[in-house]
Chains A and B, each alone.
Chain A
Amino acid sequence: MHELALMEEVRRIAMAAAAAEGAQRIHSVKLTVGRLSGVDPGALAFAFEVVMADGISQGATLDLEVVPTVCQCGGCGQRFEPVDVIHACPRCGELSSELLAGRELEVTGLEVS
């Protein structure tokens, strides 16, 4: 349940961005989360409710964007989205690959007024 610690950081980032904008309310927060980032969407939603419950973020909604894992094969250079936890290249079968996307944990948008 490290989602709570991460969500505290989301609140800190959102409050700072809202203050810089002179906003009075935070209506929604967009989070971009990679499939390999090790967070659970249900736990994130729960943590969001808890952390955003008071102040200018009260009633804010969570907009969660889950981005797929993208690998680049270490053998043939093919880019692919792995179908399971074993990131085998669909072209040459090589297992070793570089992760191009999938570990994201970012605040990517904020709706304020």
Chain B
Amino acid sequence: MVRYLVPLGVFAMLVALLAVGLRHDPRKIPSPLIGKPAPEFSLPALTDPARRITRADLLGKVTLFNVWASWCVSCRDEAKVLDGLAKSRVVPIYGLNYKDRRAAALEWLKVFGDPYVANAFDREGQVAINWGVYGVPETFVVDAKGIIRYKQIGPITPQVLKDTILPLVRRLQQEARRR
């Protein structure tokens, strides 16, 4: 009996291991920055090169920091979700315009909507590297003290917004009020 149970057991373990592996998306690399202070940056604003957007702009309230580009196709789907969120005025959205041309980015905002309080223009993608960005879109949830609390890899879908981001934002806003 044992001589059949042992291979069966080994096989079952292997199946379990591979099943877990299949459910795991290798493209989603967890960010080591979660729970850490958001990296410092100072970049020209997309709409006004003379103005600078810095980390200090994000402080004092819970914010979303959304990395996007006009050449990013899935950002178009995300734009609808972000627009709805901006209209609800639940949380301010700041943008990091990633490796884009200024004219193309401004045109994109006209076509697909502009949910952003302000956009930092990261022409060379250097600030993005400092934030551990490896694709667009990505979105960081930053708390009132400037700590990164969550990173969404890929577009924010209505589902992600409802199930993950909004509950987290509300919790962080309560946390900030209590202090």
**A and B from one complex:** no
